[in-house]
Amino acid sequence: MTRLSVLGGGSWGTALAMIFAPRFDRVTLWTYEDELAREMAAVRENRVFLPGFRLPPNIDVTSSLEEGLRDASIVLGVMPSTVLRKVYTDALPYLPAQAPIVSATKGIERGTQRRMSEIIREVTGRERVAVLSGPSFAREVARGEPTLVVVASEQMELCREIQAAFTGPTFRLYLSADPTGVEIGAALKNVIAIAAGICHGMGLGSNAMAALITRGLAEITRLAVSLGAQPATMAGLAGLGDLILTCTGELSRNRRVGTELAKGKNLDEIIGSMRMVAEGVENTYSAMELSRRQGVSMPIAETLYSIFTEGKSPHDALRDLMERPAGLEVV
């Protein structure tokens, strides 16, 4: 019997559990909240994070890591980046020895500047770790709309194994041997998306948005390449594709944060009003730590950081960006 274990019962974890359910005999969806697990098991719907979608009958919902990981053929991690280290530490006694781990969490750990797959290897001692990323809103995946993503690992045999297990009529996986590029693209696009939301909230038009996405991609690429990533990765689904989606899509939580900032709302107030996590906030701090360590210029991320830490207004931040000395267009 094949069993998929999904760690994380938010909108993305629930959507992935649903779309992969036909490909496994059983899917176990683990969520931290006991009450949510009981409700989802009873009503067969995630009314908190993904309302309106009925869970397939072969999905079991639990708040027990031991139960959630029992007999797993593949472990798919979809928890927020800030709790990833703790979840895998707690899960370690129950991880099946032969099950590969696929990380669909997008982030960089503040303080250590580690990518999610690096933390998983450090905590679990496992080498069969892959990452999954690409332009994918949870609600559209749950609706069965066509979605293309990337699975990345230095071990191409593992990538092919995950590709075969996860690919279906509406969910297509491409292979990549560049997990560094895929993870940096996944984390940093959320930072640029907050800036895109600010542009949107200020009523700026298509010129500004196109410029922001283009220069944002240049920043992400510089940082990724400095860490050993392949530049071509940033032109693909996990780079440009995910960046466009998150900067322009109405379902983007990170874009919504920027839109609310442009209206003059306080960051803490915005975060407090959101039930789901906007990873770009935490990753703005991580991006600054990483860019300074690597000596990489990231003016958009740095400007956003000044809004968060210095209380700079979005209008002043935009003026500062536009008044920077202009030179050659350098990626």
pLDDT in tens, 37-76: 999 999 999 999 999 999 999 999 999 999 999 999 999 9
pLDDT at 131 (0 to 100): 98
Mean pLDDT of 125-131: 97
Selection from 300, 125, 279 nearest residue 196 by Cα = 300
- 3 state DSSP class of 176: strand
Domain ranges of the chain: 3-140, 180-322
Q: Is 272 exposed, middle or buried (0-12, 13-18, 19+ CB in 10 A)?
A: exposed
Q: Is 306 exposed, middle or buried (0-12, 13-18, 19+ CB in 10 A)?
A: middle
- Amino acid symbol at 128: R
Residue 151 phi, psi dihedral angles, 5° rounding? -115, 130
pLDDT averaged over the chain?
94
pLDDT at 317 (0 to 100): 81
pLDDT at 279 over 90: no
pLDDT at 331 (0 to 100): 60
Selection from 119, 106, 121, 79 nearest residue 238 by Cα = 106
Of 86, 106, 189, 312, the catalytic one is 189
Say how far apart CA 302 and CA 167 lie, in whole Å.
Answer: 38
Selection from 118, 40, 59, 126 nearest residue 84 by Cα = 118
Class of domain 180-322: mainly alpha
Say how far apart CA 278 and CA 273 lie, in whole Å.
Answer: 11
The superfamily CATH assigns to domain 3-140 is NAD(P)-binding Rossmann-like Domain (3.40.50.720)
Give yes or no for a contact between 98 and 75, defined as CB atoms under 8 angstroms apart: no
pLDDT at 277 (0 to 100): 66
Mean pLDDT of 165-180: 98
Confidence band of 102 (pLDDT split at 50, 70, 90): very high
pLDDT at 292 (0 to 100): 95
Active site residue 263: no
What is the token pair recorded at 210? 């196109």
Residue 174 zone, left/alpha/beta (φ > 0; ψ -120 to 50; rest): beta
pLDDT at 329 over 80: no
Q: How many CB atoms lie within 10 A of CB 23?
A: 15
pLDDT at 125 over 80: yes
Confidence band of 320 (pLDDT split at 50, 70, 90): confident
Say how far apart CA 123 and CA 226 lie, in whole Å.
Answer: 25
pLDDT in tens, 66-80: 999 999 999 999 999
Residue 181 phi, psi dihedral angles, 5° rounding? -65, -40
SS (H, E, C) 58-86: CEEEECCHHHHHCCCCEEEECCCHHHHHH
Q: Is 43 exposed, middle or buried (0-12, 13-18, 19+ CB in 10 A)?
A: exposed
Confidence band of 276 (pLDDT split at 50, 70, 90): low
Confidence band of 274 (pLDDT split at 50, 70, 90): confident
Give yes or no for a contact between 238 and 173, defined as CB atoms under 8 angstroms apart: no
pTM: 0.94
- Are the folds of 3-140 and 180-322 the same? no
